[in-house]
């Protein structure tokens, strides 16, 4: 099965658990990053795209700040939750590494180390190009990303979430030899039901690669720093970039 299809099925299977647990676990750090890096750059009525929006927790918060919010995710079940949470927003089902929407934005956000789901350089380039194509010149791109030391330090844990008669066990492991972070999900329903099992994958992305690929895609890097009070405590970066005109000059179009 192609990796993108496997990822989509996995997120469909764990959508209700994600909505109840993991989507909220990282919400505070996403809100903190937005306030620190994009708060001064946005205002009520700014058009914001939340890429890899999941079940819509952060999109709902953005809407509460007066933003005009849209969202993208590749999981239909995740998007069902997001639409129920925020009926007034527009949500699109698409992959982060190649999407085309009928609108442009003042800012794009992408949190919860979703960028690390780019399994190779072509996927990362596709993601950055798609974001750049949907930003007005001068528009902002804010995301977080985990470096290898973050996976080495934190990606060895087990988790269990119960929801009614079903349960989801998550096993996190990092394969240093392959440079691959694995998240194995095992969903169990009623007694006697055969468990459904899925594996999600991420790869570490180092700062030098981020800098190089942002520049190639038409961004000027504005800030890059460690995320405070987040998991993992070391190795997670917040990255703020700005879309530039050919030649590398930002304009004030989005202000």
Read off the tokens for 226: 């460690």
Task: Calculate mean pLDDT across residues 65-81.
Answer: 97
Q: Locate all alpha helices (DSSP H) within the chain, ordered by sequence.
A: 3-17, 23-25, 27-33, 57-64, 76-85, 121-133, 148-154, 207-217
Under a CB-based contact definition with an 8 Å cutoff, are residues 100 and 204 in contact? no
- C-alpha distances (whole Å) from 33 to each of 40, 63, 105, 141, 154 are 12, 16, 19, 12, 20
Of the pLDDT bands very low, low, confident and very high (cuts 50, 70, 90), residue 230 is confident
Task: Calculate mean pLDDT across residues 28-51.
Answer: 95
Task: Calculate mean pLDDT across residues 174-178.
Answer: 96
Of the pLDDT bands very low, low, confident and very high (cuts 50, 70, 90), residue 255 is very low
Of the pLDDT bands very low, low, confident and very high (cuts 50, 70, 90), residue 250 is low
Architecture of domain 151-202: Single Sheet (2.20)
Say whether pLDDT at 147 is over 60: yes
| Structural domain boundaries in the chain | 3-148+204-243, 151-202
236-243/180-188 β-pairing: unpaired
Give the chain's mean pLDDT: 91
| CA–CA separation, 210 and 187 (whole Å) | 34
The fold of 3-148+204-243 is: Rossmann fold (3.40.50)
Say whether pLDDT at 233 is over 50: yes
Pairwise pLDDT comparison (4 vs 90), residue with the higher score: 90
Ramachandran sector of residue 176 (left: φ over 0; alpha: ψ -120 to 50; beta: rest)? alpha
pTM: 0.92
Closest Cα to residue 141, out of 106, 166, 176, 113? 106
């Amino acid at each position: 099965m192609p990796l993108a299809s496997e990822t989509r099925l996995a997120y469909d299977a764990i959508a209700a658990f994600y909505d109840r647990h993991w989507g909220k676990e990282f919400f505070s750090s996403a809100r903190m990053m937005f306030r620190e890096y994009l708060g001064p750059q946005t205002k009520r009525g700014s058009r914001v795209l939340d890429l890899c929006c999941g079940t819509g927790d952060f999109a709902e918060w953005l809407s509460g700040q007066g933003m005009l919010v849209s969202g993208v995710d590749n999981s239909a079940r995740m998007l069902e939750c997001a639409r129920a949470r925020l009926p007034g927003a527009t949500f699109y089902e698409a992959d982060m590494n190649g999407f085309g929407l009928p609108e442009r934005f003042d800012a794009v956000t992408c949190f919860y180390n979703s960028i690390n789901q780019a399994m190779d350089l072509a996927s990362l380039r596709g993601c950055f190009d798609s974001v750049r194509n949907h930003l007005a010149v001068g528009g902002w791109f804010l995301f977080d990303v985990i470096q290898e030391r973050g996976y080495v330090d934190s990606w060895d844990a087990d988790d269990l979430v119960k929801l009614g008669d079903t349960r989801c066990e998550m096993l996190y492991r990092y394969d240093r030899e392959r440079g691959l972070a694995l998240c194995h999900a095992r969903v169990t329903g009623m007694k006697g039901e055969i468990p459904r099992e899925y594996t999600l994958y991420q790869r570490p992305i180092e700062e030098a690669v981020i800098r190089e690929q942002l520049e190639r895609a038409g961004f000027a890097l504005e800030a890059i720093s460690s995320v405070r009070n987040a998991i993992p405590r070391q190795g997670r970066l917040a990255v703020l970039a700005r879309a530039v005109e050919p030649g590398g000059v930002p304009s004030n179009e989005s202000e």
